[in-house]
Amino acid sequence: MDAITRRILEIKRERGDSLLILGHHYQRHGIVDVADHVGDSFGLAKAAAEAPRARDIVFCGVRFMAESAAILCREDQKVFHPEPEAGCPMADMAPMDSVESAWATITARLDYRGRKMVPVTYMNSHAPLKGFTGAQGGLVCTSSNAGKALRWAFERGDLVLFFPDQHLGRNTAKALGIREDEMRVWYPSKPDGGLDTLEGVKMLLWNGHCPVHMKFSARDARFVKKNFPGSLVVVHPECEQELVDLADGVGSTEYIVKYVAALPEGTRVFVGTEANLVDRLKRENPKLKVEFLTRSLCPTMYMVDREKLLRTLENLEGEEPVPMPTEVREPARLALERMLSLAPNPSLQQTLAN
Ligand code: SF4
Q: Backbone dihedral region of 192: left (phi > 0), alpha (psi from -120 to 50 degrees) or beta?
A: left
The protein residue whose alpha carbon is closest to atom 6 in ligand 1 is: 298
Q: At a CB cut-off of 8 Å and minimum separation 6, what does 185 contact?
A: 166, 194, 204, 205, 206, 207
In the prediction, which pLDDT does 40 show? 83
- Separation CA 214–CA 216 (nearest Å): 5
Q: What is the largest CA-CA distance in the chain?
A: 65
In the prediction, which pLDDT does 218 show? 98
Task: Tell me the one-letter amino acid at 101.
Answer: S
Buried b (16+ CB within 10 A) or exposed e, 104-123: ebbeeeeeeeeeebbbbbbb
297 CA from centroid of ligand 1 (Å): 9
> For 269, which DSSP code?
E
Domain ranges of the chain: 3-86+301-322, 91-210+334-353, 213-292
- Which parts of the chain have pLDDT scores under 50? 346-354
Is it true that 3-86+301-322 and 213-292 share their CATH fold?
yes
Q: Under a CB-based contact definition with an 8 Å cutoff, are residues 272 and 297 in contact?
A: no
Q: Under a CB-based contact definition with an 8 Å cutoff, are residues 252 and 44 in contact?
A: no
In the prediction, which pLDDT does 344 show? 58
In the prediction, which pLDDT does 352 show? 28
Q: Global pTM?
A: 0.93
| Chain mean position to CA 223 | 28
Give the architecture-level CATH label for domain 213-292: 3-Layer(aba) Sandwich (3.40)
Q: Which residues line ligand 1 (CB under 6 A)?
A: 62, 88-90, 124, 210-212, 274, 298, 300-301
149 CA from centroid of ligand 1 (Å): 20
90 CA from centroid of ligand 1 (Å): 6
In the prediction, which pLDDT does 278 show? 97
> Ligand 1 atom closest to Cα of 88?
8
* DSSP one-letter string for 232-254: EEEE-TTS-HHHHHH-SEE--HH
Q: Under a CB-based contact definition with an 8 Å cutoff, are residues 130 and 336 in contact?
A: yes
Task: Tell me the one-letter amino acid at 298.
Answer: C
| Chain mean position to CA 22 | 15
| Ligand 1 pocket mutation, candidates 60, 238, 274, 301, criterion most atoms within 8 A of CB | 301
Q: What are phi and psi of 304, to 5 degrees?
A: -85, 125
**Percent of the chain scored above 90 by pLDDT?**
88
Assign 24 to helix, strand or coil: strand
In the prediction, which pLDDT does 43 show? 80
326 CA from centroid of ligand 1 (Å): 26
- Separation CA 252–CA 207 (nearest Å): 21
Instruction: Classify domain 3-86+301-322 by CATH number.
Output: 3.40.50.10800
- Give the H or E element holding residue 333: helix 326-340
Q: Of 34, 26, 255, 252, nearest to 122 (Cα)? A: 252
Q: Of 168, 169, 160, nearest to 198 (Cα)? A: 160
> Ligand 1 atom closest to Cα of 300?
6
- Give the H or E element holding residue 175: helix 166-175
In the prediction, which pLDDT does 343 show? 67
- Separation CA 294–CA 272 (nearest Å): 7
